[in-house]
Structure 1
Amino acid sequence: MSTELHVDCAIVGGGPAGLVLALALVRRGIRAVVMEKHADFLRDFRGDTIHPSTQDLLAEFGLLDAFLARRHDDMQRVTFSWYGTELTLADFTRLPTRRKVMTFMPQWDFLDLIANAAARHPEFTLLRSTRATGLIHDGGRVVGVTGDGPDGEVSIRARLVVDASGRDSDVRAAAGLAPMGMASAMDVLWFRIPKAAGERQPFIQAGSGLVIAIDRGDFFQVAHVIPAGTWHGTDADLDATKQRVGRVAPSMADAVAAITLDDVHLLRVRLERLRRWYVDGMLCIGDSAHAMSPAGGVGINLAIQDAVATARILGSALREGTPTPADLHRVQRRRMWPTRVTQFVQHRMQGPLIAEREQDAPLPFALRMLRDHPRLTRVTARFVGLGARPESL
């Protein structure tokens, strides 16, 4: 069985960038289809930080109350434990935003919220369990995308195709777009450990590497930053990981001692971006345009800001006709500067994040500055909480 659809915008990828773009477009009366390869949003080890600027966007969408009604945790300050010495990395309490906190919510809950809001508009269609298989061309222009869904082949004709399918995008490759990368010095190991009733762990602990603990209610989701290329999935790698985490976070040592190789998931960190985000008829946003490091948890924020800028800049063109390459270039021009700034900072952060130092070693210079000059934590809060170039509807 074959299905053919005709819409204004076909979006590949039902992550934060794709769904927020769809919501922003259908609110403008623009027909949008999102093609999502999974049946649901329930995937573990995904970013779940909702920054203050994103919460302002939720308020503009009229969704902030619904967002806050879902299970979440707020953080006014990002704190940091260096071998037991407590420091503040970012203080959100003075940001010019509605909510002066960074909020943690499982990404599947956030995506459900956005998808449900978009579904209230007749212009929105979400195709689940549908994997993009190729692009449709007319002459030298992209005019649609094909997919394989539960009921067979899908063909979507659109004035614009937006690829928001992530850093390993086949759609991007089919368009002949290839990213350029900066050397990444780190990878991230993700795993879970059980949580006892009333137990608390510092959000970030460091010294001999870096350990982040996200409180999921009945367990901690743990990220451990390691030097790039040093994890090969062997028993020796697992033993070394347990020893490093035990040195940095002694309170986790017993729980981490029980994890197995099957419990550990590797994220190979890539810092890369496209020189050109578009071809005639197709635009890349989010991780498809620029893969970010998990440092600062800013990747989701940046992707959502891409989506909002895309809808604002291209909304009129999609309502009135077909966006031109010049229109698509306007989106790239708007969003390239914050991408470059963010990646530059993340690249500079890699060394301090993975450095192994003895317990009696002095604090790194950047941490000494934050300790001795607390006002600097407002600067880091703006970078993390707002981003280099916040967007609005």
Structure 2
Amino acid sequence: MGRPLRHTATLHTDVLVVGAGPAGLALTLMLLRSGVRVALAERSTSFRRDFHGEILQPGGQRILDRVGVLDGAVRRGARELAGFQVRSGDRVLLDIDYRRLPGPYDKLLALPQAHLLEELLDACGRYPGFEYLPGHRIGSLSEHDGRCTGAVVNSSLGARRLWVRAHTVVAADGRFSKTRSLAGIGAGRSDLFDQDVVWFTVPAHGRSTGRVRVHRAGASAVLVHDTHPDRLRIGWTLPHRGWQRAAERGIDAIRDELAAALPEFADLLHEHLTSLAGLALLDVFAATAETWVRDGLVLIGDAAHTHGPLGAQGINLALQDAAALHPVLVDALDAGDFSRRRLAPFEAARRPAAEAVTRMQRLQAKAFFGAGGAVGEFLRARAAGVVTRTPIGARITSRVAYGPSAVDVRDELFGRGAAVERGAA
């Protein structure tokens, strides 16, 4: 039998956002509150899947608070963390205490991404200009006179093809962006980080770290932090391509090595880490797309730039991208001009910030995961002491918390035009 015929329909909107991650949903909400019609296409039908990145920095917290969703997301379940620590055995090499920052954003939040995405989606659903397209994969981009004018998205739930006609398409579909690929834009991948990272969680009722802790363990490192509800999230950092060799040794050897690195949680590891199937390998790499804007097309978040997990910068940068792009798109719609020139201020503002984070992560990796024996350990401890106990440390903490260049929400643009919640008088 041949493939079933697909029914094709057309949807007209102002902006098509591809990808319902933090960047895509936050941008959608800001645009809706500014009277902009938005269609959001997401290939998945549920947020109930495992996400590795869930640490929310103060910069991201402030953006979510300004758009009115932080408290609701936290009420769905989150854990507060006082900061970052790097340890070697019983020694604390580095203690970045976020309580030194001014409130209310004087902490990290371990916020499950499903909770954040569901709260953002619920907020978007209050606006009549919102069209949500779950279970829709982008199939092709539409162009006219060299400008992107929308996309064709295909439903995985039935025989339907939808042509979404839009003034601008925003690719927010992650590090392996299909939208970016369809546009023929190179990802700019670079294996700058010589690590593999394996993630898993274990139940930990009544046990906690209170911080994001990185434990140096020979040639590797183990990251551990509290996560909702009453669990520990653990990331095992190995030399690049080291996971295959580790897996060949078997789960018993892996469990013993991790228990030696985390002795206070050894009982939990022996009880709950029983199979390789419970471990997920994260492909760690850096990438910066060759361009982020074209006529009628913008890349944001991981689709534009990808980072390693060190320092928990991914969600922070994605939310800041959304806040930076929001006024640029409003301006473009007001002017009726969706050219690369009109959209370029977004890339000009955000590319340097993304590149600065990549440089910072490379330095962090060399400083705290590098080799060097006793001499290297001594130098790292001296450098960490400067960060922990001097005013320089407070400035470094603020830079990690808010990024190289702080971004705020242009909420004076809210309430324009048709930005009325459903059911509002």
What TM-score results when the alignment is normalised by the length of structure 1?
0.92
Distance 2:255 2:385 in 1: 29
Report the secondary structure of 1:214's partner residue.
Answer: strand
Deviation at 1:97, TM superposition (A): 5.2
1:236 and 2:242 aligned: no
Q: Quickly say closer, same or farther: Cα 1:10–1:261, change in 2 above 3 A.
A: same
Q: Structure 1 residues 205, 140: closer, same or farther in 2, change over 3 A?
A: closer
Offset of residue 343 of structure 1: 0.5
Rounded Cα–Cα distance in structure 1 between residues aligned with 2:103 and 2:140: 41
* Sequence identity (%): 27
Partner of 1:369: 383
Q: Displacement, 1:385? A: 1.0
Cα distance in 2, alignment partners of residues 103 and 189 from structure 1: 21
Hey, what does 1:11 align to over in structure 2?
Answer: 17
Q: CA distance change for structure 1 residues 75 and 218 in 2, over 3 Å: closer, same or farther? A: closer
Q: Which residue of 2 aligns with 1:192?
A: 201
Q: Quick one: which amino acid aligns to residue 332 of structure 1?
A: E
Superposed displacement of residue 173, structure 1:
1.0
* 2:62 aligned residue: 56
SS at match of 1:191: strand
1:222 aligns with 2:234: yes
The one-character-per-residue Cα deviations of 1:297-333 (angstroms, maximum 9, x if unpaired) are 1111001101110011221212442321112211100
Aligned residues of 1:89 and 1:380 also touching (Cα < 8 A): no
- C-alpha deviation, 1:88, in angstroms: 4.4
Matched residue, 1:249: 262
Candidates 218, 221, 241, aligned match of 1:210: 221
Amino acid at match of 1:171: T
* C-alpha distance in structure 1 between counterparts of 2:257 and 2:368, whole Å: 13
Match of 2:101 in 1: 95
Letter in 1 for 2:115: D
Root-mean-square deviation (Å) = 2.2
- 1:177 counterpart SS class: coil
Tell whether the 8 Å contact from 1:341 to 1:388 is kept in structure 2 after alignment.
yes
Greater mean deviation of Cα atoms: 207-216 or 307-316: 207-216
Gaps of at least 5 residues in structure 2 are 1-6, 410-425
Give 1:271 shift: 0.5
Distance 1:289 1:237 in 2: 37
Once the two structures are TM-superposed, the CA of residue 266 in structure 1 deviates from its matched residue by 0.4
C-alpha deviation, 1:180, in angstroms:
2.0
Deviation, structure 1 residue 181: 3.2
Look up the SS of the partner of 2:166 in the other structure: strand
CA contact (8 A) 2:216 2:222 kept: no
Deviations 1:40-74 (A, max 9, x none): 11221321112112222223213343344332211
Match in the other structure for 1:179: 187
Shift of 1:158: 0.5
- Choose which of 308, 314, 318 in structure 2 pairs with 1:293: 308
State the distance in 2 between where 1:39 and 1:276 align.
30
Look up the equivalent residue of 2:379 and give its one-letter code.
Answer: F
Larger displacement relative to structure 2 (312-321 or 228-237) = 228-237
How far did residue 171 of structure 1 move?
1.2
Equivalent-residue separation in structure 2 for 1:21 and 1:190 (angstroms): 29
In the TM superposition, what is the alpha-carbon distance from 1:238 to its structure 2 partner? 4.4
Structure-2 separation of matches of 1:368 and 1:313 = 44
Q: Which whole-Å CA distance do the structure 2 matches of 1:272 and 1:47 have between them?
A: 17
Partner residue of 2:349 out of 334, 345, 349: 334
Q: Between 345-354 and 272-281, report the one with greater CA deviation.
A: 345-354
Change in CA separation of 1:364 and 1:302 when aligned onto 2, cut-off 3 Å: farther
Using the TM superposition, give the Cα deviation of residue 207 of structure 1 relative to its aligned residue in structure 2, in angstroms: 2.0
TM-score, length-scaled by structure 2: 0.86
2:76 equivalent in structure 1: 70
Moved more, 42-51 or 363-372: 363-372
SS at match of 2:106: coil
**Native 8 Å contact 2:81 2:212 kept in 1:** no
Which region of structure 1 is more displaced relative to structure 2, 119-128 or 179-188? 179-188
Amino acid paired to 2:224? A
1:26-45 paired onto structure 2 within 5 Å: 26-45=32-51
Structure 1 moving runs of 4+ over 6 Å: none
What residue ranges of structure 1 are gaps of 5+ in the alignment? none
Bigger shift: residues 109-118 or 209-218: 209-218
Q: Does residue 330 of structure 2 align to residue 315 of structure 1?
A: yes
User: In structure 2, what is the equivalent of residue 141 of structure 1?
Assistant: 147
What's the CA shift for 1:177? 0.4
The verdict on how the C-alpha distance between 1:249 and 1:210 changes in structure 2, with shifts beyond 3 A counting, is same
Judged with a 3 Å threshold, the aligned counterparts in structure 2 of structure 1 residues 262 and 310 are, in CA distance, closer, same or farther, namely same
For the pair 1:388 / 2:404, whether they are aligned, the reply is yes
Amino acid at match of 1:270: F
Cα distance in 2 between the residues matched to 1:86 and 1:296 = 17
Amino acid in the other structure paired with 1:244: E
Matched residues, number = 391
Could you tell me which amino acid in structure 1 is paired with residue 177 of structure 2? S
Q: What is the one-letter code of the residue matched to 2:139?
A: T
Q: d(CA) in 1 for partners of 2:26 and 2:213?
A: 29
Partner of 2:416: none
